[in-house]
Chain A
Amino acid sequence: MSPAKGKLTEKRVEVLLEVGSEEIPAGMLPKAEEDLRANLEKLLAAENLSDGVTVETYSAPRRLVAEIRGVLEKQADVVAEVTGPPKTVAYDAVGEPTRAAYSFAEKQGLGLKDLYTVKTPKGEYLAAKQTKRGRTAEQILGEILPRAIHDLSWPRSMTWTGIDGARFIRPIRWIVAVVNGKPLKFSFAGVVAGDTTLGHRFLGKGPFRVRDFADYEKKLKANGVIVRPSERREKISKELAAHAKRSGYRIHEDADLLKLVTYLNECPSVLEGDFDPRYLALPDEILITVMRGHQKYFAVEKRGGEVAPHFLAVINLPKDPKGLVRAGHERVLGARLADAQFFWESDQRCRLADYLPKLERVTYESRLGSYRDKVERTRAISRWLTEEWFNRGMLQAHVAEADRAAELSKCDLATEMVQEFTELQGIVGGLYARAQGESDSVADAIYDHYRPVGLLDPIPRNLIGCAVGLADKLDSILGCFAVGLVPTGSSDPFALRRAALGIVKIILERKLPVSLSLAVGAAAKALLTNPPKKGVTPEQETQVLDFLLDRAKFVLREREKFSYDEVNAVFRAGVDDLVDAHKRLMALRAIRKSKNFEPLAVSFKRIRNILEKSNFKKDEVAAIQTDLFESGAERELFAAVRSAASKVQAEKRAGRYQEALEVVAGLRKAVDDFFEQVMVMAENEAVRRNRLALLSEILREFTTIADFSELGGEERR
């Protein structure tokens, strides 16, 4: 199909769409904006209307908005060719049209003279041209706009008109759809679209009509709503900075919180408040969590970084002339801090270790027992890890400290503070441990052991914390896999992917010597010798290893920016020690740029193909017989391979992977000459097998650092 030339009308229209809803959860708005834009672009493209179109989307708690510019007023007419019967059927021997020709013409609503023939690979066929009239933008938008709203996907939608009613994230109460100044009629979820909208819940002056996006934006502002999130964010940032400047304090930066309050308010402004300085006796972490987590306030810090007795709240009003809002927020925060103070004191009426027996009542997973059981397993794995490290000369790997930190690591789960502020798990344990005189490294290890919680989150700051963190995560993954709780798709209730990511990050960033297979073995032993004394099958251990290696590949690509094929090449050569794999990748990345390397990789790929096609078994050990060589190139390659092999071995043993790969790259000429001058698949079977044996040896010897046959070509996922 192609647009008919000359019929293009270049008149374009502007579209405004607003879905007016009861308050949409702030955290979902950024994605909803993205999705709405993508939906509109996709639907416009499907109607051939996307050329030269721009779609911008915005949102605020009560509205999801799209501004579409440059939509053709009318779809172009489309001329399509329809083929009919073959020419041999359409015309008889003397060239007269047959019934088939007449009936094709009739079906197309055309005369015989309008038909023509086309050549196709199957022969000549009768054909006709049909013009499909384009529809107007209005007609099409009337279908597309409700579709774009309908197709938005939400984490948990609801119905409000009844069981068969529309589903959305919250009830839709009005819809604005204006095309070139005129309201567009359609209805969705029982709401009829029009040109009337509402402003801020309390600042707005009742419903008002809008003509286009510019008019809409201006009138909304006059009615207390800033529709562009970027503008709201800037306003908040600017006001936060102004408060900080005036007071000489610093804002405790929090990008996530800034984003949240941007989408939580239609008319944001920053309000400052105080709290009683006696609460400063509480640790900063707790103060910040109380302010941020529940109340969504920004904390402020003194020059030294410690929290000051003030807060900055973002409110959905331009000002607070009577100070009533401020007084309210201060009172709420005061009550929250009083609670935290109460927990801090009452929790510490007994020591952290006294909470251990209470962990028996906290289930980790029904088949894997309580957190008390998990603690014992974590201790066993921590001890194993630190013993390994200590024996390798890592003197900070203090076995007794790792054991103590693991023992206390989950105690805070039974404290009131963590029950109230669950996001403080680990942190509270660390704080209590320090306050109760545990060593710094034990307290820090407890504090950090849940880390890292994401790709960008830092790893535990000391080695003990790394040991406990690894042990805890290994036990979670192995235990869950052992009882069949393997993450699938979006379901990963025990956050095992995050745990695996954490393991990989800790090992790589701290450059820890850990054999993954031995570590998984140690975790399996801990699960077998401690409650619930559960055995793990070798298949499950392999499954866990693959799961870890898969996350390792992900981290190496996303965090270290290695390419897919580099990571695949190294992992295909076998990986058990991630630090070693990283070294191999660095060497591979460096050598890749040398001129011999890519062509050699192509040759390796060719070798692999030849071997696969000839059914030459990879592990088939066939002695190479030099007397079967027929050409010089063959002999030279053999000699080059043997000499390179011993050099590569030596370099590899010394950990000099780049030097080893350089030796491999030096084989390029010998390999190229071989393929130029020798035909591998010789007729004589003995000669042929001898050549295959030589190629097989090349793959075996030179793909232990990285399997180059994975390199190049399409990026494989």
Chain B
Amino acid sequence: MIAKVKLEKKSVGLNFQDLVLKLSDFWVKQGCVLQQPYDVEVGAGTMHPETFLRVLGPAAYRVAYAQPSRRPADGRYGENPNRLYKHTQFQVILKPSPADVQDLYLESLGAIGIVLKEHDIRFEEDNWESPTLGAWGIGWQVLLDGLEITQFTYFQQSGGIDLDPISVELTYGLERICAFLQNVSSVYDLRWSADKTYGEIRLAEEQQFSEYSFNRSDAKAIRAEFDLHEKQAKELLDGFSSAGKERGRYPVLPAYDHCLKCSNLFNLLDARGVISTTERAALMARVRAVACRTAEAYLEQIGGPTVRREVRA
């Protein structure tokens, strides 16, 4: 019924690495600290302490960083053109949220070569929630011609603590945006740099980690690791309350690393298909308990004011 519209040859879109550079450059100009990816496995950029902990307390902060994010259950052995065991998020935190944040965000799209007037860009309701972090926010997914490219969230709680001021979190899905810019249909065909593709750089990783997390990981060992990390986190947090004068340099941040480890181990168990729904909820509650305690200790350590807490089911 429809005559094919002839597409104009687009100017060739940004390389994957240039996309990271352009976004970094844009947000640095907006006053963001340019951070590096966290060096512990995380499922999302939100789990980086530069988001999870920095949004707590009163101090203003702006930060941006790329974060490789592991989702073992989303692995597809490198066979699905859109689904990845590990994808890359570009994360921006603006604290407090400025009044023109939507305009700033749209400007950033302009900076990576998207001509706003030529596309159908919209903000569709999508509230974000991370039950394992006790964090949630109100916002949208940003759709570019029907493609979800960014999660846009006004953080309301982190670690079960009501936030004040409110931070805004922008999470760009880099592979998707890049595929859009380069007009390719498989993520593995993306140009990463002038002479290397995404597939050349990452395919082996996708294949091997899919095989590992679906078929070869040792569930028993992972459960044991989970218990050990949880134990260390709890012991550290228990010690915090009696640390007295030493509180200022007390290792709260390492407790959070153990919490992140638990979260990743939980994801591995989930991908292996060895946990029932009930156990799933129980394990998530254990990670959340540690995350919430870490957030409280962190806040106390930085001398943040007592924040009203709201119990959420």
On A, residues with C-beta under 8 Å from B are 22-23, 25-27, 61, 156, 158-164, 170-171, 173, 201-203, 243, 246-249, 264-265, 272-274, 295, 300, 308, 310, 313, 315-317, 320, 322-329, 331-335, 338-339, 342, 360-363, 366, 370
CA A331 – CA B162 in complex, angstroms?
Answer: 40
Question: Provided the pairs A323-B6, A335-B81 are in contact, do residues A25 and B125 lie with their beta carbons within 8 angstroms?
Answer: yes
CA A363 – CA B282 in complex, angstroms?
Answer: 12
Shortest 5 CB-CB contacts between residues of A and residues of B: A328-B145, A323-B5, A247-B1, A25-B125, A163-B164
CA A308 – CA B1 in complex, angstroms?
Answer: 10
Interface contact B123-A22, CB-CB below 8 Å: yes
Interface contact B146-A360, CB-CB below 8 Å: no
The residue in chain A whose Cβ has the minimal distance to the Cβ of B97 is A160
Question: Provided the pairs A202-B117, A323-B6, A342-B80 are in contact, do residues A328 and B146 lie with their beta carbons within 8 angstroms?
Answer: yes
Secondary structure of the B contact surface, majority rule: loop
CA A203 – CA B156 in complex, angstroms?
Answer: 32
The answer to whether B7 has its CB under 8 Å from any CB of chain A is yes
CB distance from A290 to the nearest CB of B (A): 12
Partner of A331, one of B156, B185, B277, B307: B185
Interface contact A264-B154, CB-CB below 8 Å: no
Interface contact A246-B1, CB-CB below 8 Å: yes
Interface contact B119-A363, CB-CB below 8 Å: no
Interface contact A362-B1, CB-CB below 8 Å: no
Interface contact B146-A332, CB-CB below 8 Å: yes
Contact with A along B141-158 (1 / 0, CB 8 A): 000111100000010100
Contact with A along B1-31 (1 / 0, CB 8 A): 1100111100000000000000000000000
Interface contact A339-B82, CB-CB below 8 Å: yes
Residues of A within 8 A of B222 (CB): none
Further 16 A-B residue pairs, CB within 8 A, beyond A265-B122, A327-B7, A335-B82: A156-B127, A158-B154, A163-B308, A201-B106, A247-B1, A249-B1, A264-B124, A316-B120, A316-B122, A320-B120, A323-B7, A325-B119, A326-B5, A331-B185, A333-B146, A363-B281
CA A419 – CA B210 in complex, angstroms?
Answer: 19
CA A315 – CA B147 in complex, angstroms?
Answer: 13
The answer to whether B163 has its CB under 8 Å from any CB of chain A is yes
8 A Cβ contacts from B254-288 to A: 273, 275-278, 281
CB distance from A224 to the nearest CB of B (A): 11
Question: Of A61, A243, A332, A333, which is in contact with the most chain B CB atoms at under 10 Å from its CB?
Answer: A332
Contact with A along B106-126 (1 / 0, CB 8 A): 100000000011111111110
CA A333 – CA B97 in complex, angstroms?
Answer: 34
CA A246 – CA B146 in complex, angstroms?
Answer: 25
Interface contact B125-A310, CB-CB below 8 Å: no
Partner of B166, one of A159, A300, A322: A159
CB distance from A602 to the nearest CB of B (A): 52
Total number of A-B contacts with CB less than 8 angstroms?
134
Residues of A within 8 A of B123 (CB): 22-23, 61
CA A670 – CA B98 in complex, angstroms?
Answer: 83
Interface contact B120-A274, CB-CB below 8 Å: no
The answer to whether B165 has its CB under 8 Å from any CB of chain A is yes
Interface contact B102-A22, CB-CB below 8 Å: yes
Residues of A within 8 A of B2 (CB): 247, 272-274, 310
Query: Can you list 15 contacts pairing A with B, beta carbon distance less than 8 Å?
Result: A23-B122, A158-B154, A161-B165, A162-B166, A273-B2, A274-B2, A310-B1, A323-B5, A328-B120, A328-B180, A331-B147, A338-B81, A362-B276, A363-B276, A363-B281
CB distance from B209 to the nearest CB of A (A): 19
Interface contact B185-A335, CB-CB below 8 Å: yes
Interface contact B307-A163, CB-CB below 8 Å: yes
Residues of A within 8 A of B146 (CB): 295, 313, 328-329, 332-333
The answer to whether B199 has its CB under 8 Å from any CB of chain A is no
Partner of A173, one of B81, B99, B125: B99
Question: Of B119, B140, B273, which is in contact with the most chain A CB atoms at under 10 Å from its CB?
Answer: B119
Question: Of B80, B138, B144, which is in contact with the most chain A CB atoms at under 10 Å from its CB?
Answer: B138
Partner of B121, one of A202, A361, A370: A202
CA A273 – CA B146 in complex, angstroms?
Answer: 12
The residue in chain A whose Cβ has the minimal distance to the Cβ of B127 is A156
Question: Of B165, B180, B281, which is in contact with the most chain A CB atoms at under 10 Å from its CB?
Answer: B165
The residue in chain B whose Cβ has the minimal distance to the Cβ of A62 is B123
Interface contact A361-B144, CB-CB below 8 Å: no
Residues of A within 8 A of B275 (CB): 361
CA A273 – CA B1 in complex, angstroms?
Answer: 9
CA A599 – CA B99 in complex, angstroms?
Answer: 70
Question: Of A158, A308, A342, A370, which is in contact with the most chain B CB atoms at under 10 Å from its CB?
Answer: A158
Residues of A within 8 A of B276 (CB): 360-363, 370
Residues of A within 8 A of B307 (CB): 163
Interface contact A170-B138, CB-CB below 8 Å: yes
Interface contact B277-A362, CB-CB below 8 Å: yes
The answer to whether B131 has its CB under 8 Å from any CB of chain A is no
Interface contact B154-A26, CB-CB below 8 Å: no
Interface contact B154-A23, CB-CB below 8 Å: no
CB distance from B271 to the nearest CB of A (A): 13
CA A61 – CA B183 in complex, angstroms?
Answer: 30
The residue in chain B whose Cβ has the minimal distance to the Cβ of A329 is B146
Residues of B within 8 A of A334 (CB): 185
The answer to whether B96 has its CB under 8 Å from any CB of chain A is yes
Contact with A along B58-86 (1 / 0, CB 8 A): 00000000000000000000001111000
Residues of A within 8 A of B8 (CB): 322
Question: Provided the pairs A332-B145, A333-B146, A335-B82 are in contact, do residues A202 and B5 lie with their beta carbons within 8 angstroms?
Answer: no
8 A Cβ contacts from B223-282 to A: 273, 275-278, 281
CA A159 – CA B162 in complex, angstroms?
Answer: 10
Question: Provided the pairs A326-B5, A339-B82 are in contact, do residues A158 and B156 lie with their beta carbons within 8 angstroms?
Answer: yes
Partner of A325, one of B120, B127, B137: B120
CA A174 – CA B47 in complex, angstroms?
Answer: 34
The residue in chain A whose Cβ has the minimal distance to the Cβ of B145 is A328
Residues of B within 8 A of A243 (CB): 1
Contact with A along B36-60 (1 / 0, CB 8 A): 0000000000000000000000000
CA A316 – CA B116 in complex, angstroms?
Answer: 12
The residue in chain A whose Cβ has the minimal distance to the Cβ of B179 is A331
The residue in chain B whose Cβ has the minimal distance to the Cβ of A191 is B99
CB distance from A235 to the nearest CB of B (A): 16
Residues of B within 8 A of A159 (CB): 156, 166
CB distance from A239 to the nearest CB of B (A): 14
Residues of A within 8 A of B120 (CB): 315-317, 320, 325, 328-329
Interface contact A23-B140, CB-CB below 8 Å: yes
Question: Provided the pairs A25-B125, A162-B166 are in contact, do residues A366 and B5 lie with their beta carbons within 8 angstroms?
Answer: no
CA A334 – CA B116 in complex, angstroms?
Answer: 23
Residues of B within 8 A of A265 (CB): 122
Question: Of B1, B99, B137, which is in contact with the most chain A CB atoms at under 10 Å from its CB?
Answer: B1
Residues of A within 8 A of B106 (CB): 201
Residues of A within 8 A of B277 (CB): 361-363, 370
Question: Provided the pairs A163-B162, A272-B1 are in contact, do residues A264 and B122 lie with their beta carbons within 8 angstroms?
Answer: yes
CA A161 – CA B273 in complex, angstroms?
Answer: 43
Residues of A within 8 A of B117 (CB): 202-203
Interface contact A160-B166, CB-CB below 8 Å: yes
Residues of B within 8 A of A363 (CB): 276-278, 281
The residue in chain A whose Cβ has the minimal distance to the Cβ of B115 is A324
CB distance from B149 to the nearest CB of A (A): 10
Interface contact A324-B118, CB-CB below 8 Å: yes
Interface contact B1-A156, CB-CB below 8 Å: no
CA A238 – CA B273 in complex, angstroms?
Answer: 49
Residues of A within 8 A of B137 (CB): 158
CB distance from B115 to the nearest CB of A (A): 8
CB distance from B114 to the nearest CB of A (A): 10
CB distance from B143 to the nearest CB of A (A): 9
The residue in chain A whose Cβ has the minimal distance to the Cβ of B2 is A272
Interface contact A322-B138, CB-CB below 8 Å: no
Interface contact A325-B156, CB-CB below 8 Å: no
Interface contact A26-B125, CB-CB below 8 Å: yes
Residues of B within 8 A of A331 (CB): 147, 185
The residue in chain A whose Cβ has the minimal distance to the Cβ of B142 is A23
